[in-house]
Amino acid sequence: MRKISLLMVGALMGAGAAVVVTQSPLFTTTRAVAASAETYRQLNLFGDVFEKIRGDYVDVPDESKLVESAINGMLTSLDPHSSYMDAKSYRDMQVQTRGEFGGLGIEVTMEDGLVKVVSPIDDTPAARAGVLANDLITHIDGEQVQGLTLNQAVDKMRGPVNTTVKLTIRRKGQSDPVEVSLTRDTIRIRAVRSRTEGDVGYIRVTQFNEQTFENLKTAVEKIAAELPGDKLKGYVLDLRNNPGGLLDQAILVSDAFLDRGEIVSTRGRNADETQRFNAKAGDLTKGKPVVVLINGGSASASEIVAGALQDHKRATVLGTRSFGKGSVQTIIPLGGNGALRLTTARYYTPSGRSIQAKGIEPDREVLQDVPDELKGKDETKGEAGLRGHLKNGEEEASGSSAYVPTDPEKDTQLKAALELLKGTRKDAATTAEKSAVPN
């Protein structure tokens, strides 16, 4: 039997993993030998095809790309979340999960072929240099941005701490371009944003990286300081459009709201690979009512948190059905050759529910008012709509609207959550309208 000790990833991204394999006693059967012979025959076929391509293809092929494509094809045939990452992709993934890198401190998007600043992050080189939201970056170190992808542009702006980069900016209301020289610094991705909404604490978790729990802890402390004691009615935990992240962070975030009980279990191919993760004593929010917001863009680690708080009736889950990604990916480094992202387990909520290709169904379904121009475009297919997804064995129904208005005044789901917390007794928001545990 194999025994695997893993640092697992419960998301669309991942972190490093350690794998220990114990071989079972060897035994031979006719069936095993036949299977082995067939496998080697197929590998010989692969070698023959590879040699034919090398020798006879109309142009000289890139042999390393051929092998990489073959590996990727093998992995993607398993499920939509298993894949091969080359060395660069692996480094980028590590940066994303670490939540820390050398850069300028701006959130950006692409508009008309140029990089548009969504917002500068407080106390970063970009903010100190006066970079503004809606600025258009036309050149990076004198090189035109037009023609670059967003990832290529971001790569050029990131770099070692204490190195400089020059940006040319087109700013609304100014005819002449603005040139700024910035010195890169250590940037920490804001995985958590928070504010108070009257007498309610609002916490938005955008992803589960290595910074998430500490960011959440800081947010809870800040809100509690602003609204001490009975002034604080409760918390809204917004997980909408959160694609997931690190499993250990999902467990820590769940634990922040729980005093005891199971948070999640992961089950691999063999029974002895099952792992259960339990809450430790100590609720950071001191038992205050909680409403969790989810939608069709809430996946993986987000669903672990929502499922744990729902099963323990610690929170009311409000919004629309979540994405339905109930599998765990392990990142296995391959020396200097990148890494393997491999699906190694399914995860289950405390009551034993698998949300794979099914999603978390909210206790209170609240639909957003979607603008006419976005109607029909706001729906996610969910896990069940992905070709080759792992089957649940039950009825599949994941996916729903993923639209969230940028203006909180137009956010129907947020308004409903605030009304629920402000207009009920302390325990009302911690009791679901219907049983969260299947009968």
Which residues are identified as catalytic?
Answer: 300, 311, 325
CA atoms within 13 A on the CB side of 216: 27
Q: 85: which residues sit within 8 A by CB, 6+ positions away? A: 93, 338, 339, 340, 341
Cα–Cα distances in angstroms (integers) from residue 423 to residues 199, 289, 365, 416, 439, in the given order: 11, 12, 18, 10, 30
What phi, psi does 109 have (nearest 5°)? -140, 180
Going by DSSP bridges, is the β-strand pair 136-140/327-333 parallel, antiparallel, or unpaired? unpaired
Which residue do the tokens 């129907």 mark?
412
Contact 390, 357 (CB under 8 A): yes
Give the phi and the psi of residue 50 in degrees, each rounded to 5: -60, -45
Long-range contacts of the stretch 67-73 (C-beta < 8 A, 24+): 70/46
Give 424's DSSP letter.
S
Return d(Cα 191, Cα 144) in angstroms, integer: 31
Please name the residues in contact with 297: beta carbons below 8 A apart, sequence gap of 6 or more: 240, 241, 242, 243, 323, 380, 402
Decide if 239 contacts 308 (C-beta within 8 A). Answer: no
Residue 378 CB: number of other CB atoms within 10 A?
17
